[in-house]
Amino acid sequence: MKIKKIGVLTGGGDAPGLNGVIRSVVLTAINDYDIEVVGFEDGFSGLIRNKYRVLERESVSEILHRGGTILGTSNRDNPFHFPVRSNGQVTYQDVSDEGVSNLKKLGVDVLIVIGGDGSLRIAKEFSDKGIKIVGVPKTIDNDLGATDVTFGFNTAVTTATEALDKLRTTVESHHGIMVLEVMGRYGGWIALHAGLAGGADVILIPEIPYDLEKVKEKIEKRKSQGKLSSIVVVAEGATPVNGKYTVDKMMEGRTEPIKLGGIGQVVAQQLVELTGLEARVTVLGYLQRGGSPTSCDRILSTRFGVMAVKQAVEGPWTTMVALHGQSVVTVSLDEAIKQLKKVDCKGELVEVARAIGVNFGK
């Protein structure tokens, strides 16, 4: 079939590189295929409320270096579980047919959804309703199983590494323990990569339940060697042996209602009690999502956008673009959302970290 109009939206949390994808989608569609592009605002909310804008070359000028997304995003407005307020009460309803209707009225032939596992699951449900879908993987957590890397990850790791470089000088001045809590949900990718790059002494990740007695031994061994300070990087989803995740709060209506957080403070307080040393905590939080994307993420997001348009034009649909090795390929949406990608506890990076003395609390 002849593709005349493509829709694009960004769903879930923001990530550095989103604007790079939007830019390359628009420029490729116009330059190579003479296809019109419309962007839906604020994720799937814009699709349901019919909030969109036509994207021209001028719309995406000078946005490659910008963080965030010019279209806006949301992780609360799942069309299949959409918040509807009536008489002061909020109920959740399936309003996905409104989205389907809006796409048909606009004449959108293919919808490009840029998002993480939650957004891509919603995209798959729309494909089951007959909408032609092409997904683009986005998450700073790097936990989508069907792609080697997601854009946004490199920027998040760079931000965390720079934070560790700065924290090192202050903890060395006070001869104590510095705990840095980073994002990552149920995967330890950011913690592992940033911890290695930043020279952390201890890295705690969800894939390896920790025993703080082992961490205490590491810190005391360093002290006996004349090293009076230690740096601990802890992923927000890290858990103690036989323990549970540390939950900040539950957020009804979100694609992922569990908001992890607070593990850094828990670990720091327990290390104070175990070692008698002073421990300070830094929670990096949303700094990992913000700011200009690195050159790696700018290039990867651009490559993903170009391939997404090519796939939208040529088919097959119900697919997601992905990076396998050095090549951008496509995989089925079913494969894309099948399972989250976890750190291999016996993989090379973990073994490298162990070889240079990094402690994983085990």
- Catalytic position from the list 14, 42, 141, 143: 141
- Which residue range(s) make up the domain with 56? 5-151+293-336
Contact by Cβ (8 Å): 300, 327: no
Residue holding tokens 């997404």? 308
pTM check: above 0.85: yes
Shared domain check, 160 and 286: yes
- Predicted confidence (pLDDT) at residue 253 exceeds the cutoff of 70: no
- Residue 352 within a domain: no
Residue 211 falls in the annotated catalytic set: no
| pLDDT, averaged across the chain | 95
Is there a single domain that holds both residue 143 and residue 13? yes
Res. 320: pLDDT tops 70: yes
Q: In 3-state terms, what secondary structure has residue 109?
A: coil
Cα separation, 11 vs 291, in Å, equals: 18
Q: What does the pLDDT average to over 122-146?
A: 96
14 with 138, same domain: the answer is yes
Provide the pLDDT confidence category of residue 251 given band limits of 50, 70 and 90.
confident
Q: Is the peptide bond before 316 cis (omega within 30 degrees of 0)?
A: yes
192 contacts: CB under 8 Å, gap ≥ 6: 203, 205, 343, 349, 350, 353
Query: Tokens in use for 258?
Result: 């569990």
Question: Alpha helices of 131-253 — where are they, by DSSP H?
Answer: 153-174, 189-197, 212-224
Same domain? 285 vs 306 = no
Mean pLDDT of 27-51: 97
Confidence of residue 257 (pLDDT cuts 50, 70, 90): confident
Residue 350: inside a domain, yes or no?
A: no
Question: For residue 211, is it within any domain?
Answer: yes
Mean of pLDDT values over 137-147: 95
C-beta separation of 39 from 8 below 8 A = yes
Lowest mean pLDDT among 79-88, 104-113, 336-345: 79-88
CB 260 within 8 A of CB 185: yes
In the predicted structure, residue 292 carries a pLDDT above the cut 80: yes
Q: Would the pLDDT of 301 be above 70?
A: yes
